[in-house]
Amino acid sequence: MRGEDFRGCLVTVSRELKMTPQRAERAAATTTTPPAECSVACTNAIGATDIKDIHETLNHAVQASVARLTRGLSPAALMGAWFDWATHIAAAPGKQLQLADKATGKLRRHIRLAIDSALTGDKAKPCIAPLPQDTRFKADAWQTRPFNTIYQGFLLQQQWWHNAFTGVPGVTAQHERALQFLARQMLDSVSPSNFLWTNPEVLEKTRETNGLNLIRGMQNQLQDMRGAMTGSAPEGADSFQPGRDVAVTKGRVVYRNRLIELIQYAPLTETVRAEPILIVPAWIMKYYILDLSPHNSMVRYLVGQGHTVFIISWKNPDADDRDLTMDDYRRLGVMEALDAIGEIVPEQKVQAVGYCLGGTLLSIAAAAMARDGDDRLASLSLLASQVDFTEPGELALFINESQLAFLDSLMWKQGYLDTTQMAGAFQMLHSNDLIWSRVIRDYLMGERKPMNDLMAWNADATRMPFAMHSEYLRKLYLDNDLAEGRFHVDGRPIAISDIRTPIFAVGTESDHVAPWPSVFKIQALADTDVTFVLTSGGHNAGIVSEPGHPHRAYRIGTRHAMDRYVDPQTWQAAAGVQEGSWWTAWAEWLGSHAGARTCPAKTGETPPRRPALADAPGTYVMQK
């Protein structure tokens, strides 16, 4: 083989193995003549450092292949949890006897129910009640024979498996939660509500429609399969297009860099509050969840309250953005947005608002600014945002060294975490509500839930760049560096306790992404006045909770900097429930921390070097 051919082959192989182009070219450049032995040639040509890269590449390639098959779950982590439980329960005869006794007792109760049902008909009393959040067997049809016996047997088994994986001496809490999660996934998949012949509601629907529900269900399933294979949006989502149906609040893109577009909204009032508002949404989502339809747009609400509102629209990253870090998001996102706002609305402090991961990033930026004497922030509003990650809820099941190694390999292969991979993890956390209830409604009952703006937005997800997401999970979720004072910005650690600006924090009651007790911990970390709101709803619907929204309520209380700490449960019990939207209380709070009213700055009239670039919603939000 000629030297030129060998070098070309080496470059090709290196690129196929995902070696960086620079190292591939350097490896090729070191070879001028074909060595006699292939192994010696590769060693001489590539060098020890590049050989190490190839070894790491092989590791990543194999793990990425397995991760795609397991939907990102690490078999090693699951096997470790199982082995931990199995070895400890083998050495716990007392627990074994307890489980045997429970199994016998549950069998006896189930047999008694079957006999009572046979003798008294549908008047037999259930022997076990579903959990409060379990609505699968709520209909009266489930209390008739033989379905009452079927679903009661399922609930008894579910309870027994929970007992089996709980309270085994010596098993770590992480492994216990992982096994409970796995058991729930398996049991949910075989629930009698999921099958035609064991679901009385589906049978009744089939009789009423002469089987048309099953035909419609098959059509729905084929449609969903086609959408999954082609990557197209769900049916009805095209009725909620950004700029046409949603994200229609008038504004202009006044600044753009490689990561963000900054949108300034046109005023709706003759005068405005002097201090502008900057909203930092999470980069895991399109920003327009906060600017949905006109009736439930948080942006429009704030503008209508007389605020000058700016919002960050994040770029949807691709493989070229794989090396973007958390600090890139802080610097290119929050800090450059503040610089641009300072030019448009000079000599005014900013009321900053962060949602979800955007709130975490905003907290990092605020702590760094406080450390460095930057006092441009007038207040902080953190919506469903965590700064302490010791109790992140069931999301912690996906965060350990084994899982993160798998996730790193998955992201390394493609340069980002895909939208479907993130959605799958969140759906598994609440598989009853997000997976199996849809199977029953869409495929067995043959019904489709009407598309709305929030559902359409949820289908318009974004990706996460490799370096940033890996750093975020390790430094925040796994090591909790931010809360414990080890998170570095510009080479030095920051502390949330340095923040002196007043904080308005919001948690939602049924949040499975940022559980409200975790959000509540900002009160123990920040040495400033913290107003905390607990609102009904989940991570998204609880935040998009406009005035007039039915069935909404909230609790509110303020802890001043010198007050004693109160734990979440005590606070919840003491705080009174107020009907309505928390937006009104927030608007009052923002107004109390704002200055006098003034004439609004005209939208898009920025300094000459930063002219308005486009109408809202801009271009980044349109990226797929």
**Angle CA(519)–CA(523)–CA(526) in degrees, nearest 5?**
110
Active site residues: 356
Lookup: tokens for 531: 């107003």
Lookup: tokens for 336: 């450059």
**Angle CA(146)–CA(151)–CA(152) in degrees, nearest 5?**
100
Q: What is the CB neighbour count within 10 angstroms for residue 236?
A: 15
> What is the 8-class DSSP label of residue 268?
S
Local structure of 313: helix, strand or coil: strand
Q: How far apart are CA 142 and CA 440, in angstroms?
A: 15
Q: How far apart are CA 85 and CA 176, in angstroms?
A: 8
- Quick one: which of 314, 313, 290, 315 has its CA closest to 303? 290
Q: How far apart are CA 22 and CA 385, in angstroms?
A: 39
Q: How far apart are CA 238 and CA 234, in angstroms?
A: 8
- The residues near 408 (Cβ < 8 Å, ≥ 6 apart) are 60, 466, 470
Query: H helices within 531-611, ranges in order?
Result: 568-574, 582-592
Strands 488-489 and 503-508: unpaired
- Whether residue 607 has a cis bond before it, omega within 30° of 0: no
Q: Are 360 and 386 in contact (CB under 8 A)?
A: yes
Question: What is the amino acid identity at position 379?
Answer: S
As a dihedral over the C-alpha atoms of residue 384, residue 386, residue 391, residue 393, rounded to 10 degrees, the angle is 40
For residue 504, give the H/E element and its range. strand 503-508
- Whether residue 617 has a cis bond before it, omega within 30° of 0: yes
Q: How far apart are CA 256 and CA 315, in angstroms?
A: 10
Lookup: tokens for 309: 């509102």
- The residues near 119 (Cβ < 8 Å, ≥ 6 apart) are none
Q: Are 194 and 436 in contact (CB under 8 A)?
A: yes
What's the longest Cα–Cα distance across the chain?
Answer: 92
- Quick one: which of 134, 100, 103, 128 has its CA closest to 113? 128
Residue 34 backbone phi and psi in degrees, to 5 = -70, 120
Q: Which residues pair with 416 in a beta bridge?
A: 465
> What is the 8-class DSSP label of residue 602?
P
Burial of 471 (0-12, 13-18, 19+ CB in 10 A): middle
Q: How far apart are CA 316 and CA 382, in angstroms?
A: 23
